[in-house]
Every structure is written in C-alpha cells, then in structure tokens.
Amino acid sequence: MVGIVVVSHSAELARGVVALARQMGGDEVAIEEAGGIEDGEIGTDVERVRGAIERAMSDDGVLVLMDLGSALMSAEMAVELMEGGGRVVLSEAPLVEGAVAAAAAARGGASLDEVRSEAARSFEMKLAQLGVSGSDAAPGSAAPEAEAGEPDARAEIPILNEIGLHARPAALVIALAGRFDADLRLAKQGGAGPVSARSLTGLMTLVARKGDRLLATATGPQAAEAVAALEELASGGFGEGAAAVVADAPAEPQLLSEPGAPAAPPDAGAELTGIAASAGIAVGLVRRLEQTVEVGDRESDGAEAERGRLEAARASAREAIERDREAVAGRGAKAEAEIFSAHLALLDDDALLERALAGIDGGVSAEAAWHAAALETAAQWRGLDDKLLRERAADVDDVGRRVLAALTGSDAAPAVGEGIVVADELTPRDTAALDPELVQGIATARGTATAHAAILARALGIPAVVGLGSRVLAIPDGTPLLLDGDAGTVLVGPDDAQSSDARERARAAGERQRIAQKHAHEPAEMRDGTVIEVFANLGGAGEGARAVELGADGVGLLRTEFLFLERAEIPSEDEQVQTLTAIASDLGGRPLIVRTLDVGADKPLAAVPMAPEANPFLGRRGLRLSLARPELLAVQLRAVLRVAAEHPLKVMFPMVSVASELDAALELLKAARAETGISAELEAGIMVEVPSAALLAEQLAGRADFFSIGTNDLTQYAMAAERGNELVGSLLAGPQPAVLRLVRLIVAGASVHERPVGVCGELAGDPAAALLLVGLGVRELSMAPPLVAEVKQALRSVTLSDAAAAAEQALDAPDAAAARAVANALL
C-alpha cells in the first residue's frame, strides 16, 4: 500500500491531520507525521521529514503532503538525502483534504499515481458539497467517468444511514472495492456519477444523502461479489446501523407483528425450550394476547384532513407513551423507562413520517398510510445485519400500533386476565401494560433476552421465556402451563405433581428473595467468615445509584460502550471525565472498575469506521480495536486517570489474547500519565475472556494488577458456540465444566503473583454457579444489579470448603446442567 507523509510547520497540525487521515486509511495505511522543529517551535525539519518518509515507505512508494512554503523545500531536501530506495511523490494537494483523500485511496489499493491524483482532486469534494462552482468542478456533480460498456453486475442501493455517504462510510466503500477484482462504480439516481467506488473524491461529489438511491455497477471477474458485498454494507447503514432507515419496498400485510403460520398445538406433557429472559417460575393458564389492530377501509377525506388526523393521533400516542414512561419509572425501573424515550423519538422519526405523509398525499387514509409506513420500516429493520437493531423492530411495531389505535379509536394493548401471557412478540408497550398482579408469566414465539420487552419483564419481576417458536402460539387459550424463567422452558399441561412442585419452588424462591432483599446491604460473608465482594455491572450513566440501592458493594464492570454508541463522533476527554465522575460520585466511595471500549465489528460504532468482517466475534474486538486506534484508548485512559485522582477507580482492558497486547495497553497508560501529569494510584487489570488468556494466566498475572473473568465470551470461545445463537443455547448455558476448568487455571495462574480474580460474566449472577466460582478461588463477583441480593444470600448459606468440594465435583460433571445440580444441592 502507498504510504503517506504529512509535513506541516506545526507539530500539532501534522498530528491532527494524521488522525483525520487515519479515519480513512485505518491502520493498514502507513501515515506518518513530520511537523514542527525541536522544542515544539514552528518550522519544518528536513531530518524529521526524511525519517517519516522512510517509516512510511513501502514497495508502492510514498506520497508527501505539505502545508506552506518551506515545507516544500524541506520535503525536496529530505527526498535527496534519503538513504533507502523507493519512489516518493510530492503532492500539490491541499493538506487536509488531500491527506484524507489520499489515505482512502491508498487503503483501497490504488497506485502511487492514482493516490496522487485522488489527493489533487480532493478540493472538488468540498466544492461539490458546498454546491459552489470551481474552476473545473461543476456544482454538486462528479465529473462522470466513462461508462465501461454493459456491466457484469448491477444493483440499486438505498442510502439508509442518517448522514448519508459521508467520508467514513465512503472509506468503507473504498476498502470494500479494493478487495474485489472488479471495477465498481456508483451513480446517484437522478444525480451525479458514475464515479469509481475507489475514489473518495468521486464518492463525495455524489453528495448522496439519506433516502437517495445509488446505482452500483461492476465489471470484472468478481463483479457480482463486489456488488453483493456493497449491498450488504449499505443494508447495515455503512457501519452506522443506529441511524434511521428509509425504504420504499412495498409491503402488504394487514396486521402489525403478523405471527408466522401457526404450527400444530403441542400435546400435553410437551416441553418447549426457548430463551430464559426473566427469572422465576409460574404456573397458570394461557392468556393469548390479541395484538392486532385492524386498519379498516376508511376512504381518504383529502390529504389535508388526513394529515391533520395523523398529527392528532401522534399527539395522543405521545401522551400515552409519556404516561407509560412515568408508570414504569414509578415501579422503580427508571433506566428501563427510558425505552419509552426511544419510542418518543421513533414517533417523530423522519423516515417513518415522510413515508406516511407520502401515502396520504397519494390519496389513502391516514390509517392505511401510517400502517404501511410502520410495516415497511419494521420489516426493513428486521432485515438488518445488526442483531440489536433487528430487535428494535418490535419498537417500531409498538409505536406503529399505538398511532394506528389512536386513529381507529381501538385499544392498543387490550387487558389480559390472570395467567401466562402468550404472544408472538411482546412490545415494550404490551409489557408495560401488563399488570404484575395478574400476569404470572410471559411466553413468546419470537424475541431474545436482550430485547426491550425482556428487559422490562426483568425490571417488573415477571418470569419470561422468549423465542419459543410458533408452536407456542398454537397452544389453545386456557391451557395450563408451567413456565420456568430460569431454565427457559414451558411445559404444556403439567400434571398435578409437577404443578405443585413448581408452586413450591416458586414459593421458596419468593421467600429467599424476601430474605435476600432484607440483607442486601450487608456484606456477603460465607458461613466460615470468608467475605466475597458482590459488585454490579453497569452499562449506562444513570445506573450507579440504583446499584447501590440494590446492595452492590461496588461496580465490577462499567461497560463504557454506552459513551460511544449511536453517535457520530467519539466523546471528548472532558465529556468522559464528566460521565465517569458522575457514576463514581453515585457510588459514594465504593470501587469502580472501568472497562475500556469493548466494541468490534459485531457492534458497529459510527464514530469509528470498521471494515465488515466475515466472523466478527473472531475479529477486531475489544483491546484489538483499541490498539489499532490508539488515539481512542489514549483519550479514555487520560479521562480515567483524571477521575482516578478523585475516586477509587481501576481500569480494565477487554479481550486480551497475548501478553504483548497488554504491554502495549500499559505503555499507552504510561503515556497518558505523562501527558496528564497524574500519578494517582490506578490498578490496571484485564478481562480474561479468551481461552488463550486463560492458558497464559500466569504470564499475564505478572503484568496485570487483577483479573476479571468474562464468562460470556470465555464460554462462547471455549465451547465454539456463538453467544447470540439460539441453536447452540445448551452449549452456552452455564456453568460448563470446561469453563470451570479454565477458571481453575486462571485462578492458579493469578495466585502465582498473588493477583485477585473476579468474574463479571453472566455466570457470576447465577447463585448456583456463583458458589462454584467462589469454590474455585474467585473472590469478587459482578452482575446485573437486581441479582446482587440473591447471590449474596446464596453465598451466606455455605462455607468456603463446601463450595470448594462442590466445585471439584462439578469439574467432572458431564454437562452444565449436572454441574449446576451439584451446586444446587448446597442451596
């Protein structure tokens, strides 16, 4: 790949331009800075430029970009003095635009001459975006490139992401184009192009915004693959999946959330297995939730009248959503209540609304237009690559149904009687409307444990099993069910003995919970006096106070991803300091372990473009990404250090696989100390969640101050079972004997250097598994805040030696269920 050197009179400017260019070039392109002179003075230094060129040199050569006057002279002299070989070209391009365009082109595999010409044309991007005529650029139009005959493949591609094909998505397109042996070109329908998909300048001059459609054409041996890959990238919003989507694919279903074709009803005694979404046991009768709202066949009274009706219906839906938000917050689930804030935003979503208004203007009634718009949007979200976004389709259904109900004067969420609610997929609205006094449990055909409805069910304390498949919908209303929200099963028509046994278990669990809550704020002291720290996992800004309220002794895992998600820019150091300080203050002096950014290709991050990966869970996640983008980690570490000067903070690196990664992270921490001048105590630990880290525990313990085992990932990697895949759920269910053996190995490695070991994966919040973990030597457990009290209570009921004996036995258990049974015998 062509290397790039940025020469500037100012070291700061050169650094800034390199950081910008790196956004386009990723870490594949060598981009070096040569700014300023000795002692931070303004000027250019031939030796610095020469060094930078030599560092950036590759077989493909180096392009040098310069700012003013003497920068050119220094660059020319540096080239003359070069000792190694290699081709160097000095670029005439403007520094910032040129560096950015050159980096993108280099990443796409362009030659030195192509990179130079891309940089030289970079000024056209700005002209086009401003719609200003330049000497040789027409406003808003790319200089169309010659069409190369009939293409081998073509596709129409809608722009779905909020800010369109701006620079970062364009960089992904360029990287994608570079991977295929094909000439991929893009044109905006009814607008500019075609331009090469390897040209940032060309792509920018398309000025493609959300809602536009691109025509992609390709010629060459891999034309079809290139177009298909582009379609996939575009359908995920170019890595910015959080943005709203636009579609005009026709859809004609009559109901929102249409259930799949009903299967044959299961026989009495049949056990359906789904996903355990909210703990607890329920025995009751099936109560089918009628979720459909009829659209009716009203004719339009004219566009103006229909627009007015839609506006009024949205206003009434807005009030209803606000009422639900208050009601859920009033039940103590403040964070969960914010789900309804997202619904308010959906109600005003431009894409949804514009589509509905277009329908009205096309002559249909407000209800028909809104219904079609909501259906299309939800269908499109369901088709997205990103799992979390797919789950949000239920939220679109929900908002769609509310407005439709207001338009037709029907009830959006009819009341259900006492029993176990069975539905295709519950929306947050449905869940909030359920009366916990009447609703004993929830069983749904679709959904996952991380869907909003599941989160609400947990917050409301209603046992739930989701993702049971369409068979559950075939169970007739009034059929007795036994729902086990811990095991994720539903037993159809349990016999008397099974029902009474389950009722007894539910009663005992209720009693345990009552006692646990009473002692939630006391330490988890085992019967022999060993005290285990029971911490909370947090994933949001306002959750600290609630964790303390629920008895957490501290925070064992702050997932800082929330700071970065759904935003176009990375949060500033000051903003991170502010958020971390607020959380630390809410903890009132309790310890707080801050995990550095743990995203990767499975969770797109709009602020950091990531090329699509075939196996994202095995890709550039966690610390791997942070080390590839050290500027991200550096900002985080400076923020953590600043807060650590005032509060008891620790920092933790995720997804460490080899010791050298940790060394690199610790180097960055050292640099952050030097930059901030803060010498405050700050322990630095790692998450052990990759089997290689478990095997290297002793070596890593020599470098890290503490370990926290991420059993979610450790289980997925050890068992070769992807954590979101329901089909391999039994391999993911804990406590797997193989994972317990890895825990034993990790504890042994840590003990050589006397390092403490905690667990912050889901296993820590499972009372039975928690005993086994403690039996293996874990001394800190961190979990979802509502689980703290019960885990503490379970720990109090046993001695350390009993737990150790049970753990020893569990290591030899044939599977996770048998391992759990060993621990359950102690409870």
Smallest gap from Cβ 603 to ligand PEP, in A, equals 10
The entry of Mg ion, ligand PEP, none near residue 467 (CB within 5 to 8 angstroms by kind) is: none
Q: Considering only CA atoms, which of 740, 741, 686, 734 is closest in space to residue 712?
A: 734
Q: Cα separations (Å) of 191 from 188, 206, 310, 313?
A: 5, 7, 33, 37
Q: Which of 395, 484, 689, 802 binds ligand PEP (CB under 6 A)?
A: 689
The entry of ligand PEP, Mg ion, none near residue 760 (CB within 5 to 8 angstroms by kind) is: ligand PEP
3-state helix, strand, coil in the chain (%, to 5): 50, 15, 40
Smallest gap from Cβ 781 to ligand PEP, in A, equals 12
β 419-423/31-35 pair status: unpaired
Among residues 166, 343, 647, 760, the one annotated as catalytic is: 760
Among residues 9, 371, 452, 647, the one annotated as catalytic is: 452
- Please report whether residue 559 would count as binding ligand PEP according to CB under 6 A: yes
Q: Which stretch binds Mg ion (CB under 5 A): 200-208, 541-549, 682-690, 692-700?
A: 682-690
* 291 vs 715, beta carbon nearer ligand PEP: 715
Cα separation of 664 and 394, whole Å?
42
- Please report whether residue 760 would count as binding ligand PEP according to CB under 6 A: yes
The entry of Mg ion, ligand PEP, none near residue 288 (CB within 5 to 8 angstroms by kind) is: none
Region 687-726 residues binding Mg ion, contact defined as CB under 5 A: 689, 710, 713
The entry of ligand PEP, Mg ion, none near residue 624 (CB within 5 to 8 angstroms by kind) is: none
Question: Is 698 within 8 Å of 749 (Cβ atoms)?
Answer: yes
In degrees and rounded to multiples of 5, residue 396 shows phi and psi of -65, -45
Crossing angle (nearest 10°) for helices 303-330 and 393-408: 120
Structure token digits, residue 732: 């993911």
Smallest gap from Cβ 559 to ligand PEP, in A, equals 5
Give the sign of the dihedral formed by CA 429, CA 430, CA 436, CA 440.
negative
Q: Which stretch binds ligand PEP (CB under 6 A): 90-98, 163-171, 186-194, 711-719?
A: 711-719
- Please report whether residue 274 would count as binding Mg ion according to CB under 5 A: no
Cα separation of 305 and 360, whole Å?
10
Question: Is 381 within 8 Å of 245 (Cβ atoms)?
Answer: yes
Which three-class secondary structure state does DSSP give residue 656?
A: coil
**CB-based contacts of 391: which residues, under 8 Å, 6+ apart?**
447, 448, 450, 451, 452
The entry of ligand PEP, Mg ion, none near residue 559 (CB within 5 to 8 angstroms by kind) is: ligand PEP
Smallest gap from Cβ 627 to ligand PEP, in A, equals 17
* 657 vs 711, beta carbon nearer ligand PEP: 711
273 forms beta bridges with: 489
- Please report whether residue 109 would count as binding Mg ion according to CB under 5 A: no
Smallest gap from Cβ 765 to ligand PEP, in A, equals 11
> How many residues sit in the footprint of ligand PEP (CB under 6 A)?
10
The single-letter code of the amino acid at 218 is A
Q: Cα separations (Å) of 238 from 194, 218, 245, 378, 609?
A: 19, 19, 12, 19, 8
Q: Which stretch binds ligand PEP (CB under 6 A): 104-112, 150-158, 696-704, 705-713?
A: 705-713
Q: Which of 761, 767, 775, 785 binds ligand PEP (CB under 6 A)?
A: 761
Known active-site residue 9: no
Question: Is 420 within 8 Å of 285 (Cβ atoms)?
Answer: yes
Region 598-637 residues binding ligand PEP, contact defined as CB under 6 A: 598
Q: Which of 712, 751, 799, 809 binds ligand PEP (CB under 6 A)?
A: 712
Smallest gap from Cβ 655 to ligand PEP, in A, equals 8
Q: Cα separations (Å) of 263 from 469, 485, 492, 540?
A: 9, 23, 15, 40
Smallest gap from Cβ 429 to ligand PEP, in A, equals 28
Smallest gap from Cβ 712 to ligand PEP, in A, equals 3
- Please report whether residue 448 would count as binding ligand PEP according to CB under 6 A: no
In degrees and rounded to multiples of 5, residue 735 shows phi and psi of -90, 115
Known active-site residue 166: no
Give the burial string for 543-566 (b: 16+ CB within 10 Å, else e).
bbebbbebbbbbbbbbbbbebbee
Q: Which stretch binds ligand PEP (CB under 6 A): 80-88, 707-715, 724-732, 816-824?
A: 707-715
Residues at the contact surface with ligand PEP, assessed by CB under 6 A: 557, 559, 598, 689, 710-713, 760-761
Residues serving a catalytic function are: 452, 760
Residues at the contact surface with Mg ion, assessed by CB under 5 A: 689, 710, 713
